[in-house]
Amino acid sequence: MSSANSPTTFNPQPLGWWERNMVPKIIGCCCAQPQIMKARSRVVPQADGDVLELGCGGGINLGFYDRAKVKHLTGLDPSPGLLEQTRAMMQQTGMAADIHAGIGEAMPFGDQSFDTILVTFTLCSVHDPKQVMAEMRRVLRPGGKILFLEHGAAPDVGVARAQRWIEPLWKRIGGNCHLTRPITGGYEQAGFKIAHADKGYMPKTPRPFAWVEWGEARI
């Protein structure tokens, strides 16, 4: 495990024109649909203490935090365009946050820095989910929790087949967004204990994009 003064190093690929200019607009549209916002409203208010929001770009979650429970909010995202949107949402909602440009594979934080890590619709697009989960384990305090809400691999054969067919093109359009990654199972494979979890298809959403899982994971 890295020391508190030596977070894990990771060399990301530079963002191209599409990722800098178009992906923030796509994410801002897709990730703020009514059914997704309803799901966020169930998960985000459970965050408490010193909170890290991984993938804070866009600031979509800022209006859902229970301010009486959050001691300090820190955000991390690699997209300059999405971080600009986050700053705008901070002004709009009045929710203060200490935001950083960076990636989940190499978080610029010391060991055991946070009580809660919030991850919403983020692990689908990271380059190395296992490394991101290792970093979450490193920066999470004993007794802390990860609150997750993600879309990913559907259990139905037909939907899963469509996801595999769509994914290569969708990754190029949606900033490396994958449709076939495991969600709750991914945390279990990384050695986390699932305190509770739920799952299902979001209504009024095309099925390859509709399967979501949400819950709480602990070390």
The predicted-structure confidence for 124-136, as pLDDT tens digits, reads as follows: 999 999 999 999 9
Q: Do residues 52 and 74 touch, judged by C-beta distance below 8 A?
A: yes
Count the alpha carbons within 13 Å of 196 in the hemisphere toward its beta carbon.
3
Q: In this model, does residue 21 exceed pLDDT 50?
A: yes
Q: How many structural domains compose the chain?
A: 1
Q: Do residues 163 and 180 touch, judged by C-beta distance below 8 A?
A: yes
Q: Do residues 46 and 39 touch, judged by C-beta distance below 8 A?
A: no
The predicted-structure confidence for 64-113, as pLDDT tens digits, reads as follows: 999 999 999 999 999 888 899 899 999 999 999 999 999 999 999 999 99
Residue 81 lies in a domain: yes
* CATH number for the domain that contains residue 29: 3.40.50.150
What is the reported pTM? 0.88
Q: In this model, does residue 57 exceed pLDDT 50?
A: yes
Cα–Cα distance, 70 to 74 (Å, whole number): 10
In the structure encoding, which two tokens stand for residue 63, read together?
């209006």
Find the domain containing 200 and state its range: 17-218
